[in-house]
Amino acid sequence: MPLTLQLPAGTHWWCSCSKSCHQPLCDGSHTGTGKGPVKFVLTEAKTVLCDCKRTATPPYCDGSHGRAAVKPI
């Protein structure tokens, strides 16, 4: 499910590695993972961000969490 977190307008950093203790925001835990945070700027307060890390539109939820992964047999 998307994470409902009220963020104020301004510059923020979304965690793309899933290691941050302050999800969905970066706390620097990505060091050594090969993944870095995604910078985003809000012009107004926003409340819906991706928490599953599968979105094609980081840091915003695009519904990817609801799509079942197809595994080969």
Q: Give the DSSP letter of residue 69.
A: P
Q: Is residue 4 part of a domain?
A: yes
Q: Give the DSSP letter of residue 6.
A: E
Give the total number of structural domains in the chain: 1
Residue-range definition of the domain harbouring residue 44: 1-61
Q: What is the tens place of the pLDDT at every residue in 9-42? A: 999 998 989 889 988 899 999 988 899 999 999 9
Q: Is residue 16 part of a domain?
A: yes
* Full-model pTM: 0.69
Helix%, strand%, coil% for the chain, nearest 5? 5, 25, 70
pLDDT at 1: 66
Q: How far apart are CA 62 and CA 59, in angstroms?
A: 9
Q: Is residue 36 part of a domain?
A: yes
Question: Is it the case that residue 65 has pLDDT exceeding 60?
Answer: yes
Q: Is residue 21 part of a domain?
A: yes
Q: Is residue 13 part of a domain?
A: yes
